[in-house]
Amino acid sequence: MNSGTEKQVVFFGCQLDPDERAESIQEKRAIASGGRLPLTDPFQVVMAFIREEMADRNWEDLGALPVPEWLTPAPGDLSRIRVEEFVSFLDDDGCRRAAGDVERFVSERILPRIPCMIGVDHSLTAGAVKAVSDHYGKENLSLIVLDSHTDAVPMSALADAIQYDIDTNPASPHDRNDPFLYDRADSVNASSFIHHLLVEETVLPDNLFLVGVGDYPEKRAFRIKDPRIAGYVGVYKKMKQDGATILTKKDCASSPKKLKTLLGKLKTPYVYISVDMDIGARNAVEGVRFRDRRGLQEKQIYRVIEAVRSLFSHQVRLAGFDVVEINPRQAGGGLSSGEDRTYRIAANLIGKIAFGR
């Protein structure tokens, strides 16, 4: 049987965290004022499991890429920890530049071996995928993303949808007077990087598989004629019309066979797998940045991964993968229900994807 991972797996990390949400900023300030710095880089925590449990496997650790201190999950200097600073970084395409650093690192130091990134901001995946796509050819690479969010909505479409919600929903959580909801650039970021991969033809629509999505619009949204919502749902409609596969969380939970059927569409000789750990948010894990969508149970996540890995028995090779969106400010902490398992599950997923364990 083809294991899909005959080549050496090479691990590296990147803890870029440019999250501009008030929740994230408050967490960072609370951690700093509470004297609990420094937090450990998620890469080092997950690698501790790998070193202990995968010592007999073929892998190398290249360490973590450098990140400006103020853009880490727990900065000590809070002078730049303000919404304005993060918005400026995002709108100035800072995530694209960081993804470019990842692309060069993977191209120059890892390929043709198998890169595995353990990180925070999901936009970094764009860099690794670009490197792998250029190396093997976009026509030869499929991208499978496990995520509670679609991550393919440009900021302009998202802003329009928010404006519609403000205008029509009395219980809207959004503030009409928030200046950061207006005139935002369509930059690469954690919620839009897949859109840019498609527009720039790094990934072909037929070769894109989004699995576990919890933010797919309800049917009634597609009947709303307001141009702001029409544009928003049009993003999803166009992806599917162009050939992308979108499998919702409900599909994964209720119809495991549907996943295998849809994955049967995969025809490329190489696959890149990206796991956003919020695929299990508020269910299997708590230590993730975005917990607005309730994700899958731990056993359900493993079933999805096993279905994906079964592709390796059909002449499909693993080209690269990542595990991202870990929030070290929350991961591993004690909960009323017990210890958070974000790091443990991340290591388990790496074991299953890379080594079949």
In a domain, 262, yes or no: yes
In a domain, 100, yes or no: yes
Report the b/e string of 123-133 with b at 16+ CB within 10 A: bbbbbbbbbbb
In a domain, 62, yes or no: yes
pTM of the prediction? 0.95
The number of domains in the chain is 1
CA distance 271 to 319: 5
Over residues 305-351, the pLDDT tens digits come to 999 999 997 789 999 999 999 999 999 875 555 689 999 999 999 99
- Domain with 307 in it: what CATH number? 3.40.800.10
**C-alpha closest to that of 323 among 122, 183, 155:** 122
In a domain, 294, yes or no: yes
Over residues 192-220, the pLDDT tens digits come to 999 999 999 999 999 999 999 999 999 99
In a domain, 1, yes or no: no
pLDDT of the residue at 337: 55
pLDDT of the residue at 219: 95
Long-range (24+ apart) CB contacts under 8 A made by 105-113 are: 105/12, 105/65, 106/131, 106/132, 106/320, 107/131, 107/134, 107/135, 109/10, 109/62, 110/10, 110/12, 110/62, 111/135, 112/7, 113/7, 113/8, 113/9, 113/10, 113/60
Quote the domain boundaries for residue 238.
9-355
In a domain, 3, yes or no: no
Question: pLDDT 10s digit of each residue in the chain, 357 long?
Answer: 346 768 999 999 999 999 999 999 999 998 877 765 556 899 999 999 999 999 999 999 999 999 999 999 999 889 999 999 999 999 999 999 999 999 999 999 999 999 999 999 999 999 999 999 999 999 999 999 999 999 999 999 999 999 999 999 999 998 888 877 888 899 999 999 999 999 999 999 999 999 999 999 999 999 999 999 999 999 999 999 999 999 999 998 887 788 889 998 999 999 999 999 999 999 999 999 999 999 999 999 999 999 999 999 778 999 999 999 999 999 987 555 568 999 999 999 999 999 998
pLDDT of the residue at 33: 77
